[in-house]
């Protein structure tokens, strides 16, 4: 049996911390779909297609990872793809309450789908996309936080 896992997020933009989670997930599950989803409480800097392109470029080297985007409910996408696992990263205790709430809501909506939490490397504990956007906006160097193509996209977006 093939186990398909969905790793959802806003990915505005994808960072090395997200890639660490993807790398761990691809070693556990047969297939991983990185899903660029929407969080209704966020107004992203990059459009959905731009975020998807950045994710695609970051995962193209992985045979069992692909990327997609979707506007609806995460559980609907997960079911549509016949995936049974949702992967989320847990960086610190501060992530827990929000993640717990989402995992239980998704379980109420689709009991056959299990949320699995993976812990990224501790060197990424502090990292998030807002920080990357802010450092970049203020002219700082984000090369240790994101892949080179994301750095380029940030520069282009901020120039434009
Ligand atoms: N490394 C670095 N940063 C990480 C990280 C990691 N391993 N894991 C999470 N983050 C950061 C993200 O960059 C993001 O930072 P930001 O807030 O500064 O942008 C933050 O932690 C959490 O964001 P993310 O992982 O992208 O999740 P999210 O909270 O934006 O995404 C969705 C939530 C998209 C999964 C959720 O809203 C969803 O499922 N939407 C679809 C609609 C739906 O089904 N809603 C009901 C859900 S119960």
> Tell me: the pLDDT tens digits for 115-157?
999 999 999 999 999 999 999 999 999 999 999 999 999 999 9
Residue 41 Cα to ligand 1 middle (Å): 11
Considering only CA atoms, which residue is closest to atom 25 of ligand 1?
A: 9
pLDDT band, residue 160 (cuts 50/70/90): confident
**Average pLDDT over every residue of 57-80:** 98
- CA dihedral of residues 16, 22, 23, 29 (deg, nearest 10): 180
Residue to mutate, 15, 18, 128, ligand 1, most ligand atoms under 8 Å from C-beta: 128
**Does 113 sit in the ligand 1 pocket, CB within 6 Å?**
no
94: pLDDT strictly greater than 90: no
Query: 23-61, pLDDT tens digit by residue?
Result: 999 999 999 999 999 999 999 999 999 999 999 999 999
Q: Which residue has the higher pLDDT, 94 or 115?
A: 115
Q: For ligand 1, atom 27, which residue shows the shortest CA distance?
A: 9
The confidence score (pLDDT) of residue 93 equals 86
pLDDT value of residue 22: 98
Rounded to two decimals, the pTM is 0.96
Q: With a 6 A CB cut-off, is 103 part of the ligand 1 pocket?
A: no
Distances (CA, A) of 76 to 37, 137, 144: 12, 35, 35
Q: Residues 26, 91, 133, 136: which is the catalytic one?
A: 91
Q: Would the CB of 105 count as within 6 Å of ligand 1?
A: yes
Q: Which pLDDT score, from 0 to 100, does residue 66 have?
A: 98
Check pocket membership of 16 for ligand 1, CB cut-off 6 A.
no
Q: What residue owns the CA closest to ligand 1's atom 2?
A: 17
Q: Atom 4 (ligand 1): residue with closest C-alpha? A: 128
d(CA 18, CA 3): 20
């Amino acid at each position: 049996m093939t186990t398909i896992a969905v790793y959802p997020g806003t990915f505005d933009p994808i960072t090395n911390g997200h890639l660490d989670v993807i790398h761990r997930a691809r070693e556990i599950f047969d297939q991983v779909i990185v899903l660029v989803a929407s969080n209704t409480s966020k107004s992203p800097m990059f459009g959905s297609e731009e975020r998807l392109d950045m994710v695609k470029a970051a995962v193209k080297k992985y045979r069992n990872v692909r990327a997609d985007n979707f506007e609806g409910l995460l559980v609907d996408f997960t079911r549509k793809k016949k995936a049974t696992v949702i992967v989320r990263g847990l960086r610190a205790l501060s992530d827990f309450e929000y993640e717990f709430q989402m995992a239980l809501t998704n379980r109420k909506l689709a009991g056959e789908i299990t949320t699995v939490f993976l812990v990224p490397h501790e060197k990424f504990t502090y990292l998030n996309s807002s920080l990357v956007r802010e450092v970049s906006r203020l002219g700082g160097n984000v090369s240790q936080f994101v892949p080179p193509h994301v750095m380029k996209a940030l520069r282009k977006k901020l120039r434009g």
